[in-house]
Amino acid sequence: MKIYTLLRSVSLSITITLLAFNLTVAQNNTSLTPEMIASIKTVSGAHISPDGKNIIYTLRVPRSEEDEYGSSYTEIWNVTIDGKKNAALTTKPVNCWSPVWISNSEISFLSKQEEQDKNVQIYVTNIWGEDITKISQHTTSIGSYAWSPDGKWIVYTSTDAVSEEEKAAKKKGKDWIIPDMNYRYSRLWVMNIESKEITQVFEQDINVWSFHWSPDSKSIAFYASKTPNIDDAYMFQTIYTIKLFEEKLPKKLCTTEGKLGGLQYSPDGSQIAFLGATSLNDPLAQTLYVVSAGGGQQEMISVKDEQSSGNGFTWISNDEILLHSTVFSETKITKINLTNDKRTVFIRTGPIISRMDFQMNAADLALLVNTPEHPSEVYKASLKKGKITRLTFSNPELDNITLTKQEIIEWPGSGEWINIEGILTYPADYEEGKRYPLILQIHGGPEGVSLNGWRTRTTYPVQLFAEEGYFVLEPNYRGSGGRGVKFSKSDHNDLGGEEFQDVLKGIDALVESGKVDRSRVGTGGWSYGGYFSALAATKYSDRFKAAMVGAGLTNWISFANTTDIPHEMSLVHWNSYWYDEPQLHWERSPISSINEANTPTLVGHGKNYTRVHPEQSMELYSALKLKGVATKLILYPREPHGLREYAHQVHYMNELLTWYDKYVKNPTEN
């Protein structure tokens, strides 16, 4: 078996300009530490101004050890399009988010800016954060919002208030919880900017998730489901439109099945584009569609058998759309002409694009871009030349960090998937011809995907492992996103089967290449990646010296009956319900192979995680303990999916390094 670096020959007309950034500084080099990783600032939500001269974005600023515990703070920043000025409009400890351009000189955002605010409201300010004013007074918190194109209205969502009767009952201890009863819906409201009068757009009991204004400011297109349940949000949303103040009830736009992504009117308002699934069991809303704004049959714009997955899009004219996609382990932006179906790769780069934003009168796109050298930062992209330029440098301390080599690799799969990809990170002390221990870091989903950009975060601290002398492999096994509908469906009815063999073949390929020591392999991951690691610790225990199971699925039957997404997990992953094939679901449960377990296993879980209930980790931990297998369970209070609090993040990374060093790096000493 041969392993080789995947090379792609792509004709690019793009020049990447990295302003004043150098990956490796010759002097004062240092290594990443758990504390540094937990302190990395995160850029998100970049929006370019109508005149294209400024880009506003949000910056998540982690708390320090001295701060009161809690999630990161969220600030709003503005960077000029030439990158010469970059400043905060709002600063911690007050959290502000969801910035939106009102005009070239004003923005709005969401916050509890004032001490007396019990609910999230809308605020406005100028582009450098002066003269902040609250403009809404809704009785419950505002969830999301958008200004009408004519600037006269704001439409927003807000969840039903708790009734006075419920408040009185709670004071008397009558606060029992009965699922699927007495729903509190997220409803659409519209506010007149001049009079501040608010009106509920319609009174039908459906839950609104996202929306978009028509260009003439008269209609709204939106996604809604029959209940506020997250499972319905994933699987059973419908696209509606409504004419404000003319129609009392929304109208269904078109018939769809399965997951839905973004939606947007065309510039002239005649069409609506959206991302959606191709069928009810499609794991991702990865296909672009266009439908008449008046309703009817949607047209599929994405190529059905293309090996890429759509992530986002924007209209740039009435006939052209830019589609942002994941392609295997990279990203691209494609310009699609709807009139002649001409498709041109507009941007295809080494850096990973995670978001784009466009304004009709701007000469540039706003992009969020990450690379193997840095987390997401704000970039601009010329609409004429495709040239991209970095504008922000939010973590200058990374300039002094020496990072190890990272590359896309490929190895033989099985069946029709003759090649499987992954991201390989080299150990810091790598020498040709020497074998090293290997740590797998397996993404979740399973429709997630590991991209060839910035790979190190608190739950997947890749560069920490590399610094400690490990190879790190992040496999994009079958079922992953990024390679189209067929690939993401190719694990149906076979979870933990051929997809896990893809991972084992990746290990074998690295061993045969002479890079990895077969006797020193560990694994780790969260959610579905935790499921893979639980399988590694039980059914495939002979292959792994240590495992870390983060919020992992360990018993498919009990998981299906405790998760908040029973339909989503059953329909788009298994393609069956557990009660129709109970034996298969049990056999693919790590807990069913507990008699084969002999792998030391660290188990971690957030106590507030509703997707994968903590009982999944407790089941595995208790079973391993009964069997006499080395194990340790860590439950993190207040944490949902992943870890948000600084102390928890640092503790987890230190525990993980200690576990792997003990059981993988030096297995003969135990």
Task: Report yes or no on 589 lying in a domain.
Answer: yes
- Please give the pLDDT value at position 305: 77
Token pair belonging to 200: 């509920």
Q: What is the CATH number of the domain that holds 471?
A: 3.40.50.1820
Task: Report yes or no on 583 lying in a domain.
Answer: yes
What are residue 314's phi and psi, to 5 degrees?
-150, 140
| Total of domains in the chain | 1
Q: State which amino acid sits at residue 322.
A: L
Q: What is the DSSP string of 356-418?
A: EE--TT-SEEEEEEEETTEEEEEEEEETTT--EEE---S-GGGGGB-PPPEEEEEE--STT--
- Residues 64-98 have pLDDT tens digits of 988 999 999 999 999 999 999 999 999 999 999 99
Q: Nearest-CA neighbor of 329 among 490, 482, 488? A: 482
The two beta strands, 471-476 and 420-425, are antiparallel
* Alpha-carbon span 184 to 177, nearest angstrom: 13
CA dihedral 620, 626, 628, 629 (to 10 degrees): 0
Q: Nearest-CA neighbor of 358 among 14, 48, 79? A: 48
**Per-residue CA distances from 446 to 105, 521, 527, 554 (Å):** 43, 22, 9, 15
Task: Report yes or no on 472 lying in a domain.
Answer: yes
The two beta strands, 271-276 and 260-265, are antiparallel
Task: Report yes or no on 408 lying in a domain.
Answer: yes
Task: Report yes or no on 223 lying in a domain.
Answer: no
Task: Report yes or no on 476 lying in a domain.
Answer: yes
Q: What is the 3-state secondary structure (H, E, C) of 423-455?
A: EEECCCCCCCCCCEEEEEEECCCCCCCCCCCCC
Instruction: State which residues of the chain have pLDDT below 70.
Output: 1-29, 115, 669-670
Beta carbons of 180 and 150 less than 8 angstroms apart: no
* Alpha-carbon span 313 to 508, nearest angstrom: 39
- Please give the pLDDT value at position 29: 53
Token pair belonging to 606: 């957030």
Task: Report yes or no on 36 lying in a domain.
Answer: no
* Alpha-carbon span 236 to 308, nearest angstrom: 24
What are residue 134's phi and psi, to 5 degrees?
-85, 135
Token pair belonging to 408: 């896309």
Beta carbons of 604 and 551 less than 8 angstroms apart: yes
Q: State which amino acid sits at residue 654.
A: N
Q: State the residue range of the domain holding 488.
A: 402-669
DSSP SS3 for 143: strand
Task: Report yes or no on 116 lying in a domain.
Answer: no
- b vs e for 273-300, b when ≥16 Cβ sit within 10 Å of the residue's Cβ? bbbbbbeebbbbbbbbbbbebebeebee
